[in-house]
Each structure stands twice: as structure tokens, then as C-alpha cells.
Structure 1
Amino acid sequence: MNKVELLAPAGDLDKLKYAIIYGADAVYIGGQTFGLRAAAKNFSIEQMKEGIEFAHSYGRRVFLTLNIIPHNEDIKDLEMYIEEIKDLGLDAVILSDPGTFMFVKQHAPELEIHLSTQANNTNYMSANFWHEQGVKRVILARELSFDEISEIRLKTPPTLEIEAFIHGAMCISYSGRCLLSNYLNNRDANRGACSQPCRWEYQLVEVNRPGEYIPIEETDKGTFFFNSKDLCMIEHIPELINSGLNSLKIEGRMKTVYYVANIVRAYREAIDAYYRDPEGYQYNPEWFDEIRKASHREFTKGFYQNKPTDKDQLYTSSSYIREYDFIGVVKSYDPETKMATVEQRNHFSVGDKIEIIGPNYYSADQTIEQIINDKGESVEKAPHAQQVIKIPVASEVKPYYILRKPKEGLHD
């Protein structure tokens, strides 16, 4: 049985490493142009080289996004950019624009090409067309059901790979083709600069009463009527695999290291559990509990089972639910002293109850009994960002393990 690929977002080099360590089969990254996520840190050419070398050392793959919808002024830089990236060892480039596709085919024919979800591929005829042009993989539009995906798989050749999003933010517009941001504040979503106006609160103005703002209220907090819930398909691993998908994609190049690691580890465990015993596979509710420990909105199944309804929108707030704080990462561990060297990411103190997570679904709870700063002094708190400290940890931990703690009062 060919195993489905778990594809993770990597907004920078650090996130790429955590995604790989925590179980992603492949990552997708963006350069500093053409990548549709201008707000992410993204990768310089040197960082791409390092990231590709790191991923390949683990036998994993790296895909580069080239999926903006370019204007004339963007094209002048394309030739130089393709020359810079074509020999880096990338495993594929992701694009949506036919002109960009033609250019890559002419100037870097050795690069594998994946068709972005921005191309709005919703049927098998379109998928076959692009495959005949030389596309190796089609990333399907989000607006497809399990039945539609299965039919696309049935009516396309096995040489064409198909990929779909299974987790992360949903766009109010058709597979990301949004113009709200352009219209409201002149930031082009289709060139990577979306200001996410779908998450804003709106009020109604009647044309004959200018300046009189009428709230559109589901509750006394107002209504965010463009604001979708987040996609989460952790409960449907067998259906995703059996629909014929070759790759399961997590959204989130602008998310934190902790988010990427935690979401990847949950899906990795669920996918591996299915392949260990497809007939006896049982969904484990702990996987969903783990996913909820990363920043999220309420969840939806998107279009997989039926078309979304009013139940798939968030009307009260655009804020994320954050039940846990990401407080540090392990840099090293001394088994003789049982002391872990930790780089702090958020404030924590002696007496805090924390959880430590790692790859292969490792998890352990403990209380912080001591904090030693870089001067060897015992202190009560670790308040400084990226402060390097030491704490006692009874069980052996390794670099890239993550420390988190519940929000105060959450589990009292």
C-alpha cells in the first residue's frame, strides 16, 4: 500500500525543521517573492539551501510556492528568481498562473510542477488537462466532497497525484481567490498581501441614513459574517486515504513552531495508526484533544461531507482559542544531572505545571521545581524572550522537544 503523504507548512527555517522532526513527509515553503504569504518570514536563497539539505537528510521533500497571480510588473523578476532556485534541489514548485507555468517549463524543465489550489481545480477534466501539460500533482480546490474527490481519482491516470487541504484556516472566497482585501485597503490577496478582512466585524449602513451604523448582531458581541471556522479532518483519516488522495495538506505558513509541531504530530500518529491496521483502525479522541491544545478557531469539516451551512461560520469573534502557552524548546539534556537546557518562548515560573511533548507522540507532565539562569543562579521566573535556562526533567528529553503549560485557571 502506497502511504499517503503528510504535507506541512513551513513559514521559516525553524518551522521547517520542527515539521520534519515531528513527522511531516514533506513541507511547503515560500521564498521572499512569488509565494502568496508576504506576512510570513519566508526563506532567503541560503535558507532554502539549508532547509532542503536538512529535509533531504531525513528523506523528506521540499516544495516551493510560486503561486501568486502576477501582474506585468511582477514578471520582470521571474527569470532571475527561477535561475536562483532551479538548481537548489527542490522537489517541486507550486504554481497557479498559466504564464508562470509556461515560463518554468521553458526555463527550468527539470522542476516538478504542482498546480496550486489557487487554480480552482474542481473536476477531473481540468485535472487531466493540466496533467497533459506536464503537471505532476493537482492541489484540489477546497470546495470538494469525498465523493467528488473519489470521482476525480477514478477518472484521472495514476501518474497524476492529487492533494487536498485537511486542516487549517478556511477562506471565505473561492479557494483563496479573494478581492475583499484589494477593495478595502489596496492589499492584493492574490499576490500574497491579504489583510484578512473576512475576519473583521461589519455593520450595516442604510443608503438614506449615511453615518448611521446599524449593528448586525447574532449576539451582543456583534457578527463576523465572513468569518469561517477552521478545517479539521483528524476524525476522517480512513475516508481521506480511501478517497484516493496522495497528499494531505496542513495550512499555516504563518503559524508558530509549536502549532506546526503539534498539528503534525497528531496527524502523523493518526495516519500511522491506520496503516498499522486498516481493518482494526479506531479513532483516538486524544488526537483531537491534542489539536485543541494549539491555537485554533472552532472547527468545521468544510465541504468534505456536505456544503457548509451557517453552522460553519463564526459570528461572535475572529479571535483564536488559546488554551495553552508555548513556553520553551529543549536545546539539550544531561542524563547524569537530569537537567534540560531550554530556550524560553513565553513566561514561566517555578511551581508551574507543564507538559513536554516530542515526536512519536511523546508526552509527559511535570512541575517546574527549579530554574537556573545562564549565570548558574537559581531564579523564580524565566521572563525574558529566548532566555536560555536549565530545569530538572526526570525523563530523558531531546532537542526539539517542546514545553507548554495550560492557561492560568483553565484546569483549576
Structure 2
Amino acid sequence: MKKSKVELLAPAGDMERLIVAAEYGADAVYFGENRFGLRSGVGFSLEEIRKGIQYLHDKRKKAYITLNIIPHNDDFKGLKEYVLFLRDSGADAVIVSDPGVMVMVKDWAPNMDIHLSTQANTVNLWSALFWYRQGVKRIIMARELSLKEIGYIARNTPEDLEIEAFVHGAMCISYSGRCLLSMYMAGRDANRGECAHPCRWGYALCEQKRPGQYFPIEEDERGTYILNSKDLCMIEHIPEMVEAGIESFKIEGRNKSAYYVATVVGAYRKAIDEYFKDPRTYRFKGQWLEELKKASYREFTTAFYLSKPESSQNYESSNYVRNYDFVGVVIDYDENTKMAVVQQRNRVFKGDRVEIIGPYREYFEQVIEEMYDEEGREIDVAPHPQQVFKIKVEHRVKPYDILRRKKV
């Protein structure tokens, strides 16, 4: 192990999620404009990137910017100006998968740290050493590696080469995300941030001379979702991740909600901090895993980390498991009146029992006994998206605390 403490790295699809990630315990956040990252559906404006970097630095946290598309010639338009902008805005690193992009970063921002994306498919020691010699500061390991393999790479690379690996989130059916299925079936290039997720679709067999007659593809008796991966979850294996020499624990999910980010970051923050209090006496707490299950997920797997995956696919459905609704976000609290101002995310009623979560503390439950609109009129329901309402909360809350409600 190269360091005594690991970094918890969180995703952000907009400024709200960036702030939530930082508030709930991330040490660093990765985000970016949608032109050059592998999430075309989410993205920051240039001004938001500047503000996001400044916000994170004010919190003594780091900002990593995604430049990890696999670009064609036309995709380089505007890249030089973007790299210069990131350099001048103080980004701590850029995440890159393509050598051409790397050359441009080294030419125009020579002091910028370069993190090699998992899309570059680093699966062996000699590739890691090659990229180190090209000036790469950190390598994000391919998802197909075991902890044993990662440990071997970490032990045999220079001390100043950092190792990052995914700890939680959606998995891809293809080799570290390099997939052509979306482009072939939907005309959307996954390698340029436009994945349509055809691996989540249901498939059937159709015989050429019997059009319209579909036969299920039964890889086993459970169903037909032959490409549908479960979600990665390594919260029960923090010691093994640390001992393998992984220095940054990465959470997947730039498309996920602020509630998802808060829940997952908060759970891993507690587990990591508990481990580093005293690794010798560390014991996993089941409530951390139960907390993760209160965010949306597709069952859990340890993928390739512990052994070759034998049950990492869900053949029954590609649907998420959603046991809780994201009700709202606290935006203010008056300690004298004990009234919390909340911005709605899902319809909520007077009489609902909710759980309220916040950074670095356990959640608490309460029934919404009083509800008012912004003008102070009593209401029974907040039905409108992002409607602002007020409720009485006995325990002190603060901005970015989150309300959730168990599904019945």
C-alpha cells in the first residue's frame, strides 16, 4: 500500500450533485462539459465548471475533469480552447483515454495531471509502466482485473503512480466500456458519450421463415436479459481494496440523482473512516450496506475483484430496485421555529413518514405533521416539481440534508 489514506471520488452531473458529493464526504469529484466526456446527457457549462472547481477548492477538495471520449477527427474541434480553459480555471486533473487528447493536454497544459481512463483498458503491469513513461499521473484500472492483479501492478510501479479503481455503480457488458452495440442498434456512439444501453434490453430469437414469432433466449431458466450486468458494490471489502494498493475509490453515476450521490458517498465515507480509525479492529457494519440499498440499484456483485464472476448478470430484468422515493432537499432551517424549507423532488403529503439524512450522521425518522407553502398557507400536499414548502422538523437540519420516503 502506497498511502495511509484513500481518496473517495464521486460523480457529478450538475452543480447540485457536485455540492452534495462534497458535503456528504467525497474527497474529489469528477465532472465536465458534455462534448468531451462519456456522458453526453449531462454536462456543465464553462461557467459552472469554473464555479465547481472553485467550490471544491474552497472545501479543500479536488476537481477532475472528464476528457475521456474516444474521439474522431471532428471531435477535436474546440478541444484546445477547452484545455486552456481548464488550465486557467485550476482543474486538478483531466481524465483521458485517447493518446491524441493526451498529446494536446501535454502541449497546452503541461503542468496538468493526467489520469488515464478505464476506457484505455489497462490490464497489466507493462501497460501501466508504458503510460507512466508518457507522463500519466494516475491509472484508472480496467474493470476486468482482480484485486490480486491490481495488487501486483501497484507493488511494481513507481511510488508516484497512483492507482484508481471503481468501488460502486453500474457495470458495462463490454471490455471496460468499449462497446459498439449502441452504435449498431441505435446510431448512438457509446465511445463518444451517447450510449443507448442496449445491453439492458430484452432479447428473443426469431427464425427467418417465421417472422413475428419470437422465442425467448434462455441462458438459464430465469429469463432473457443475457447482457444485463448487476451493479458493482465493494463496501464489504474496504480492507481488501486498500491492501491491494488502490488509492482512489471511484463511484460511478454522473447520470444519477443527488439523492443517489448523497446515499452512496455517505455510506462509503463512513466505512472508509471507520477502517482508518484502526485497521486492526475494523469490523464491517451491516447498516452501511442497507443504506446503499435505499438508493436505486440493480442487485449487487463484486464483479472480477474476488474471483471470475459467476453471478454478475441479472437475467430476469434490467429494472432498478427502488425501495425509497427521493422526496426533497432542505434549503434552509429556522432553529427558533424549527421550520425547514424544502425543495420538492417527488410528491409528498402531510402525514407521510419520512427519513432525513445528512452528512456524517445517522438518519432520523419523523411524520410530516405540518406543511405550509412559501406564503405560509397550510397545505396537505406538495405536488409540483421543485415546489418549495415548509415543514416542522424537531431535530436540527441544514441545507442539502435529504428527505426520503419508503415505498409501500
Bin for the TM-score computed over the shorter chain: over 0.9
The Cα offsets for residues 26-84 of structure 1, whole Å up to 9 and x where unpaired, read as 000021311010012x1111001111111111100010010000001112322222222
The Cα offsets for residues 359-405 of structure 1, whole Å up to 9 and x where unpaired, read as 00331111110101112111111111111111010111111100001
The alpha-carbon deviation at position 312 of structure 1 amounts to: 1.2
Structure 1 segments unaligned to the other structure (5+ residues): none
The Cα offsets for residues 301-359 of structure 1, whole Å up to 9 and x where unpaired, read as 010011112x2111111110110001011111111111111111111111111100000
Alignment of 1:215-364 (within 5 A): 215-217=216-218, 222-309=223-310, 311-364=311-364
Give 3-state SS (helix, strand or coil) of 1:296's partner.
Answer: coil
Partner of 2:374: 374
Contact 2:343 2:389 in 1 (8 A): yes
The Cα offsets for residues 142-172 of structure 1, whole Å up to 9 and x where unpaired, read as 0011110110011101110010001000000
The alpha-carbon deviation at position 222 of structure 1 amounts to: 4.4
Give 3-state SS (helix, strand or coil) of 1:93's partner.
Answer: strand
Identity of aligned residues (%): 57
C-alpha distance in structure 1 between counterparts of 2:120 and 2:382, whole Å:
47
Contact 1:97 1:119 in 2 (8 A): yes
Structure 2 segments unaligned to the other structure (5+ residues): none
User: Which amino acid letter does the alignment assign opposite residue 17 of structure 2?
Assistant: K
The Cα offsets for residues 216-271 of structure 1, whole Å up to 9 and x where unpaired, read as 24799841110000000000001111110110000000000000011000000000
Q: Does 2:397 align with 1:397?
A: yes
The Cα offsets for residues 171-224 of structure 1, whole Å up to 9 and x where unpaired, read as 000000000001111110000000000000001123454443212247998411
The alpha-carbon deviation at position 107 of structure 1 amounts to: 1.4
User: Which amino acid letter does the alignment assign opposite residue 360 of structure 2?
Assistant: N
User: Which amino acid letter does the alignment assign opposite residue 266 of structure 2?
Assistant: R
The alpha-carbon deviation at position 86 of structure 1 amounts to: 2.0
User: Which amino acid letter does the alignment assign opposite residue 341 of structure 1?
Assistant: V
Partner of 2:103: 102
Contact 1:45 1:85 in 2 (8 A): no
* Corresponding residue pairs, total: 406
User: Which amino acid letter does the alignment assign opposite residue 271 of structure 2?
Assistant: A
Contact 1:229 1:299 in 2 (8 A): yes
User: Which amino acid letter does the alignment assign opposite residue 79 of structure 1?
Assistant: K
Contact 1:266 1:361 in 2 (8 A): no
Partner of 1:90: 91
The alignment's TM-score, normalised by the length of structure 1, stands at 0.96
Partner of 1:194: 195
Alpha carbons of structure 1 residues 147 and 336: separation in structure 2 relative to 1, 3 Å: same
Partner of 1:12: 14
